[in-house]
Amino acid sequence: MKRVAIVGYAQHPILKNAGALNEVELIMPVVHQLFNDLGISQKDIDFTCSGSCDYLQGAAFAFVEGLSAIQTNPPIKESHVEMDAAWAMYESMLKIQMGDAETALIYGFGKSSPGDLDAIISLQMDPYYISPLWPDRVSLAALQARVLLNQNIISQEQMLATVMEARANSKNNKNALITDLIDESDYLNNPMVSSPLNKLDCPPISDGSSAMIIASEEKAYEFTDHPIWIEGIDHRIESSNLGSRNLATSNTLQASIKQLNLKNIKFDVAELHTQFSHEVPFLKFLLNLQDVPTNLSGGPLVGNVMMCAGLDAVGKTYESLKENQLTHGLAHATSGPCLQHNMLVHLEAKK
Amino acid sequence: MSDSKDLLRAPFELAYNYKRSSGPVMSEFFEALGQQKILGTKSRAGKVFSPAAEFDPETHESLKEMVEVGPGGSVESFSWIEAPQNHHLIKDPFAFALIKLDGADSSMLHMIADCNEADLSIGTRVTAAWSETSDKRITDIKFFTLEK
Amino acid sequence: MSAEDTPKDYSESPINLEYFYTAGSATTRFLNQVKEGNIVGQGCPKCKAVYVPPRGSCPRCGVATDIEVPLTDKGCIESFTVVHIPIPGNPIVPPYVCAMIRLDGANISFLHLIQDIDIKKIRIGMRIQAVWKPKEEWTHSLENIKWFAPIDEPDVDVATLRFQES
């Protein structure tokens, strides 16, 4: 496999409501920042891939408007995934592995504020058996939370600790949306949204964008003295037949752990795309991260731009390795109800 | 130049009315719902999936044998909503739940209503309550209620 | 034998979602002007191309188009088609003309209607001008322009409209 590295990452401040800014105006600053930081332009990019959800914007092919944010003349090689931009990164990896590109620009964007996110996400599922019931994403996550609590795989105390830690860590990310701290009584007195999840167990509605540039080994050192290598990347999806899944475990993550030989790696840091508090202790248990500093950026509980949060997990891991001279980082991205589809990315900084 | 002066907003509604082909397995499932019967599909190994699955999610076997399941079953998990949202079909407090119908090995996502949160736990027995009219959709089951 | 007796081999999946759409800064500036009866394009600071309606960014250069460029409501037809199918919810009677309107001073064209014209006479390069609704009816929308109609000015040679890198 060709060696590929992350050479840059930029994140827009996460906003509760981007207001007058539209998607193009959210994407432009992060792409420009990356280009300025690296001293490059669109001409140095062989392949561009974005991740977004047309139905956040309310129109089929809405993502095409996002391309107004970048230079498309002369014509560019471009693709899009109707998913979190972590998968745009995956597609870019494939492009580089196939020899069709040496450099790739990845960007994700999403405004959740204009629409009803719960209604939109409920329509992403099986249109015969599930979507007609309009189950919102919190209720679905809550179904898994209850199973995990019931089987003592996680505890209420762990959920509380996760929320408090997320708030405390938010100070590490200048772009975080929520930074105020909470105490135990705030949590215990918080009304349930969909039991057993209360409002603090859930991520905030967020608007924003993120961008990343990856490059093959040949090109990476032209951009930076400190490329962070993508040592392993793997993604798997479980059945969309929700009732046939075992919500107390994750077959997909177990398969990826094996594929990437993660059991033999001691990670220095991890960032997980955990939108709900119960998912942190659950994933830490599955991924054996109990002693690993996790979600030092605060994670999705302090800012959760749909279609970016997975890429942000990769980007925040990259930043951690670079800024703290650490070696091994693990990033996780997810999609679908109850952690149906998961990606693991092993990043390594070589000395 | 304040942001509120520059903020142009307009409400709009996006609406589509799709008609999706159901295929032979789901057509039969929805027909049966029209007769207040719940069906599942059975694999060669004897595993029953309800609602009727076209393929075994693990072995990928194409499933054709139909068996009747329910109408009672037990709660595998539930999430209680005290304040339903606009798009929810039920306006009073209710739960989404995974319900394993009698005779099935997988569970069905649906709703539980006409009860209190305290009445529910994993293992509670519930039974289907039917809509007055049938559209031959999953919503022909209006929701599940506590089994008497 | 009623329709209900035959097995249904399809499922209805009605979908409806509600949004509060926000226009974006560039579109907001443009529509605020349109509300006053003005058409103001936006220009790229690098290549000087003028875009109307503006999208906030120049695809040639990938930078924000932050130069306001007032334009008139006169221009020419860059392309057109005669439509024989009615528009749902619109009283317009087919056949009618949809055209790509290139306003004087703009580097791109936009779609609008042509009326008050003998369809047989319509041609590329024809000079046209906007016909506005009464001022009292103006809102933040290009629908303030009912349609474009021909004016008595010589045709434009559209080859001259090609973008010139300055």
pLDDT of residue A269: 98
The span from the CA of C54 to the CA of A65, in Å, is 12
Phi, psi of A151 (to 5 degrees): -95, 10
The span from the CA of A172 to the CA of A164, in Å, is 14
- Render pLDDT for B20-73 as a digit per residue (tens, 0 to 9): 999 999 999 999 999 999 999 999 999 999 999 999 999 999 999 999 999 999
* DSSP 8-state symbol, A11: E
Structure tokens at A208: 């924003």
Inter-chain residue contact A114 with C26, CB threshold 8 Å:
no
For the residues A289-317, what does the mean pLDDT come to? 98
Percent of chain B with pLDDT over 70: 96
Residue of A nearest to C14 (CA): A132
Kindly tell me the sign of the dihedral angle through the C-alpha atoms of A316, A322, A323, A328.
Answer: positive
For the cut 70, the answer to whether the pLDDT of residue B6 exceeds it is: no
| pLDDT-flagged residues of chain C (< 70) | 1-8, 165-166
pLDDT of residue B1: 31
Residue of C nearest to A113 (CA): C20
Helix or strand run (H / E) with residue B42: strand B38-42
Predicted TM-score of the model (pTM):
0.93
The span from the CA of A279 to the CA of A300, in Å, is 11
Domain boundaries, chain A: 4-116+205-223
DSSP letter for each residue of A49-95: EEE--HHHHTSTTTHHHHGGGS--SS---EEEESS-HHHHHHHHHHH
For residue A18, the chain C residues in CB contact (below 8 A) are: 22
Helix or strand run (H / E) with residue A346: strand A341-348
pLDDT of residue C163: 81
Q: Is CATH 3.40.47.10 the classification given to domain A4-116+205-223?
A: yes
Helix or strand run (H / E) with residue B108: strand B108-112
- Render pLDDT for A1-29 as a digit per residue (tens, 0 to 9): 899 999 999 999 999 998 888 888 999 99
pLDDT of residue B94: 98
Kindly tell me the sign of the dihedral angle through the C-alpha atoms of C62, C63, C64, C69.
Answer: negative
Question: 3-state SS of chain B: helix, strand, coil percent to 5?
Answer: 15, 40, 45
Provide the pLDDT confidence category of residue A139 given band limits of 50, 70 and 90.
very high
Q: Is CATH 2.40.50.840 the classification given to domain B22-146?
A: yes
Helix axes A85-97, A309-324, angle to 10 degrees: 70
Q: Choose the closest CB to A120 out of C11, C17, C60.
A: C17
Phi, psi of A199 (to 5 degrees): -60, -35
Q: How many CB pairs under 8 A join B and C?
A: 79
- C12 vs B: CB within 8 A: yes
Domain boundaries, chain B: 22-146
Average pLDDT in chain A = 96
The span from the CA of C153 to the CA of C156, in Å, is 9
Chain C segment 13-72 residues within 8 A of A by beta carbon are 13, 15, 17-28, 55-64
The Cα of A57 is separated from the nearest Cα of chain C by a number of Å equal to: 8
Whether the complex's predicted ipTM is more than 0.90 is answered with yes
Average pLDDT in chain B = 93
* DSSP 8-state symbol, C119: G
Domains defined for chain C, CATH in brackets: 21-71 (no CATH), 73-161 (2.40.50)
Question: Would you say A228 and A321 are in contact if contact means Cβ atoms under 8 Å apart?
Answer: yes
- C4 vs A: CB within 8 A: no
- Render pLDDT for A165-185 as a digit per residue (tens, 0 to 9): 999 999 999 999 999 999 999
